Amino acid sequence: MSSTAQRTSWPARSGCPAPGPPAESMAATDHTGDLANIDVPTLVLCGDADTVTGVPASQVLAGGIPGAVFVTLRGAGHLANQERPDAFNAWTESFVHITERLREHTPAHV
């Protein structure tokens, strides 16, 4: 990442507005380089109308995590679990179920 990109806050780089002064330090902290260290099943679920995190930033998040699954929920914003609870729950339950089944059929690491 270039030094200019490192000095630019995450919302500015993602095209999403910052949520206000209380979140500026969080928004300015970039842990993108740490994503590759996540070694657990990960579902990144984003509403297609999310203006807080946004689809582009969520795609970066999912793309940086090995094996992550990215899902966009139509008609949902940042609070997809509240705006589209049936779809959110269905995706989450399916992901957990598939993850559990894969774990059952994968040899344990020695």
**Residue-wise pLDDT tens digits, 33-85:** 999 999 999 999 999 999 988 999 999 999 999 999 999 999 999 999 999 99
Q: What are the φ/ψ torsions at residue 5 (nearest 5 degrees)?
A: -65, -35
- 57 burial (CB, 10 Å; 0-12 / 13-18 / 19+) is buried
Provide the Cα torsion 31, 37, 43, 46; round to 10°.
20
User: pLDDT at position 11, please?
Assistant: 52
Helix (H, G, I), strand (E, B) or coil at 80: helix
pLDDT-based confidence at 6, cuts 50/70/90? very low
Exposed / middle / buried, residue 65 (Cβ in 10 Å: 0-12, 13-18, 19+): buried
Q: What is the pLDDT of residue 14?
A: 55
In angstroms, the CA 9 to CA 25 distance is 9
Q: What is the pLDDT of residue 104?
A: 86
Give the pLDDT band of residue 29 (cuts 50, 70, 90): confident
Residue 92: CB partners within 8 Å, gap ≥ 6? Answer: 43, 45
pLDDT at 23: 65
